[in-house]
Amino acid sequence: MAGKHKKKPKQAPKKKHPPKAPSPGTNVLSWEDDPQGNTPVSVPSPDPAEKPLAFRFPTPAPAAGQYPLGTASFRYWVAVEALRRGADFWSPGIPGGTWQVGAALPVLLDEGEDLNAYYDRKALNFFHGPLGDGLVYSGESPDVACHEMGHAILDTVKPGLWDAAAQEIPAFHESFGDMSAILSGLQVQSLRISVLQETAGHLYRSSRLSRLAEQLATAIRAQAPDAVESDCLRNAVNSFTYQDPLKLPTSAPATQLSSEPHSFSRVFTGAFFEGLAGMLSATAQKPAAPTEEELHSVSRDMGVILLAGIRQAPIVANFYSQVATAMVQAASETNSAYGPVLNAAFVRRSILSLQSAAAIAGLSSTLGPQKRAAAAAAAVESEPPLARVALDGNRFGLGNRAILVHTASHPRRVSVYAAAPDGGQLAAPSADTAATAFVDDLIRRGKIEVPQRRSILGALASTRSLKTHRLVSTEEGILLERILFDCGHRHR
Ligand SMILES: [Zn+2]
């Protein structure tokens, strides 16, 4: 732009960078995974509105360029780059290339003060909060951005999960967010090289890749020391194994497992990350020294396997076991070396009992990858609706009014179960039992919006935790509806 170099008279600083569309060839700065302890890298300017899976940011947008750290224009391009990278990773698996919300997903980068971020079926929402003497912006971390976008991707792939009342369903949504952050990060070549160096080729070691959202976690830790792990928000390298969520506490310090979705998500994410590392060493030419190209290839295969598994799995109370089973089947068809290592990872986490894992290994594969993809797409189109069930309102302090919920009630195609502590199989709860436990949890954690506070329900809801659900009056009774998936810790 010739005019750019003309000396202009005194102007307000904000007019220095008039809005314009990003011009090809201009570089912007971005973080590879998280701002904490890292230096930004220079990358070609991405286009937020690029299809498929376009994003819509508020206008005017700052012109593409390399802005100083700590400025809104710098954060804007960091977020665009991270989200574009994530959406481009998932888009081959999203036929039609549109979001659950439509052709473009709105992104709101600074919606006020909170140590949080959420997806509410309208937009990705990010916030800012105190961090030492400065501020942390949740939308500045690619880990957080690609986690939020993961909720939107999963909502597009399997919309029935949104309102399914069972503890494993929102926990899986949280796990998918973290898996999306890890797999999106692995699309950055410099990060792949850095992680292989840091772990000496052993991917399943704590690293900047496995440690998610370090900076946001530092800010949360200052206010609630036991709400996050000691060095990050959640670590995909962990030793949590599956336990019956009905028997877990409603909430617990980060060092323990609870039925709270972010806490329980770590079981599945741990299995996924262990499986990813196993798939890498099983296929690398030198298993002890995999290359970044091999890591790239395995990460892309894992994305395909994950989406195939999710599409194939019925929405049931023991969703983890069902997704794991379908993933092992899809993995075996992708590469014969993948199936056994993934199956073993799920067994180590007790997500699959030994009996179930043996049964899966024995299932002969009748579909090729292409037929499987077609069958999976058809499965989503013909996905049966979830049963709507009336639960006794007395239990929840609602008197005689029933509360209507959508239960995780799909028919099971295969009988696969998690392992019990004694090595046997854990029977899955009925859809109604799982729904009751789910509503109990929401109420005890104060996650349901309740207008009046003069009841135990209202008093519980008056805590400042961000509400994920609301009660809507309908002709048949009070319906429980999800508002959003939240991902941080309410500040204040
Ligand atoms: Zn989340």
Distance between Cα 490 and ligand 1 center (Å): 13
Q: Of 213, 157, 158, nearest to 182 (Cα)?
A: 213
Question: How many Å lie between the centroid of ligand 1 and the Cα of residue 170?
Answer: 9
Distance 151 CA to ligand 1 centre (A): 7
Residue 173: predicted pLDDT: 98
Ligand 1 center to 16 CA (angstroms): 37
Tell me the CA–centroid distance for residue 399 and ligand 1, in Å. Answer: 32
d(CA 380, CA 372): 12
| Residue at 370: amino acid letter | Q
Rounded to the nearest whole angstrom, what is the distance from the C-alpha of residue 221 to the centroid of ligand 1? 18
CA of 364 to the centre of ligand 1 (A): 36
Task: Give the integer Cα–Cα distance in Å for 474 and 488.
Answer: 31
**How far, in Å, is the centroid of ligand 1 from the Cα of 262?**
7
- pLDDT at position 370 is 64
Block means of pLDDT (10 residues each) for the chain, length 492 residues? 40 46 77 97 96 95 95 98 98 95 97 95 97 96 98 97 98 98 98 98 98 96 94 97 97 96 98 98 97 98 97 96 97 95 97 95 63 63 88 85 94 93 93 96 90 70 83 89 87 46
The radius of gyration of the chain's CA atoms, rounded to the nearest angstrom, is 23
Q: Phi, psi (5° rounding) for residue 54? A: -75, 155
Ligand 1 centroid distance, CA of 174 (Å): 5
Q: What secondary structure does DSSP assign to 321-389, as a single string? A: HHHHHHHHHHHHHH-TTHHHHHHHHHHHTTSS-HHHHHHHHHS---S-HHHHHHHHHHHHHTPPPPPEE
Query: For residues 462 and 452, what is the distance between their CA atoms, to the nearest angstrom?
Result: 9
The answer to whether the CB of 491 falls within 8 A of the CB of 129 is yes
User: Which DSSP symbol is given to 13?
Assistant: G
Provide the pLDDT for residue 237: 98
| CA 128 – ligand 1 centroid, Å | 16
Full-model pTM:
0.93
**Ligand 1 mean position, distance from CA 274 (Å):** 21
How far apart are the C-alpha atoms of 346 and 350, rounded to whole Å?
6
Whether the Cβ atoms of residue 155 and residue 163 lie closer than 8 Å to each other = no
124 Cα: distance to centroid of ligand 1 (angstroms): 11
Centre of ligand 1 to C-alpha 283, Å, is 31
Say if CB 313 and CB 377 are below 8 A apart.
no
